[in-house]
Structure 1
Amino acid sequence: MINSSVLGAATVFYWLVERWSLLDSAYFVVVTAATIGYGDVVPQTSVGKLFTIGFVFVGVGLFVVLATSVASEFYRHVKEDPMIRDALEEVEAHIDGHNRET
């Protein structure tokens, strides 16, 4: 919920201050938060540049929280699936056996 609020607020900020389209604003916000940074859309105003400096820290932090939550939920589901759990245990046993041989 907080992620979408921050991303939405940043999108509106760039739309108003930089006078970008909503699509370009949302695109810039996502690309910046995900630390991709293509550089094809960049702030031109001083206010936009200053806002971006702060948004990078907040946006990247929120992106990390989101990615961690998704990965954690995925891992929880993987652990609960007996077939996947057994396959992972076989892989771990194989790796352990290989490590003992070397």
Structure 2
Amino acid sequence: VPPPPIVPPRTISRFFTLRVIGATIALVGAFTLSFAWLECWSLVDSLYFTTSTLATIGFGDLRPARRVSRVLTSLLGVAGVGLLGGLVSATLAEWTRPTAPDAPERLDTQSASASRTGSLAARLLGWARLEIWDPSCGIRLAPWAQVAALFGIGVVGFKAC
């Protein structure tokens, strides 16, 4: 019996890293500029408020006075939770992706299981009724579909894959 092949340690792909960093920078930049304009805060104060809210820390030393800014703050808090959940989910998916020679067989088993789990989650959360979830996609895209649904991005007819 030949020894099993040596598999190098799992690394996160550069493309994945650039997507996550790009999404985070875009989100922080957009909300920082929005708060600076709406609340007449300095860019430093706006960046501080944005990052503390995105990280769900919320120290309370700065708070928006206008209603539209309060709505943006709520969206930013939800986006922070969604981004963090999506980041953890995508990182774990990248790290646990099979690399052994029997990978296609194991991947098919994982896909079937994830599809059942994703379908159950879609039914529980009502995504199937809104037609924003395709059960064949599996559970890996669930956080992104949730964020898209929360922000109203393609609420009707959105398919995650």
What TM-score, normalized to structure 1?
0.62
Amino acid at match of 2:62: V
Count of aligned pairs between the two proteins? 76
Question: Structure 1 regions of 5+ residues with no counterpart?
Answer: 74-102
Evaluate the alpha carbon distance shift between residue 72 and residue 56 of structure 1 in structure 2; reply closer, same or farther with a 3 A threshold: same
Q: 1:72, CA displacement in angstroms?
A: 8.8
More helix by share: 1
Contact 1:33/1:63 (<8 A) preserved: no
Q: Using the alignment, how far apart are the partners of 1:26 and 1:44 within structure 2?
A: 17
Question: Structure 2 regions of 5+ residues with no counterpart?
Answer: 1-21, 95-161
Match of 1:36 in 2: 57
Give secondary structure in 1 for the equivalent of 2:36.
helix
Q: Using the alignment, how far apart are the partners of 2:88 and 2:54 within structure 1?
A: 11
Q: 1:55, CA displacement in angstroms?
A: 1.4
Q: 1:71, CA displacement in angstroms?
A: 8.5
Evaluate the alpha carbon distance shift between residue 68 and residue 39 of structure 1 in structure 2; reply closer, same or farther with a 3 A threshold: farther
Taking only the aligned residue pairs, the percentage that are identical comes to 37
Q: Using the alignment, how far apart are the partners of 1:41 and 1:71 within structure 2?
A: 35
Evaluate the alpha carbon distance shift between residue 56 and residue 23 of structure 1 in structure 2; reply closer, same or farther with a 3 A threshold: same
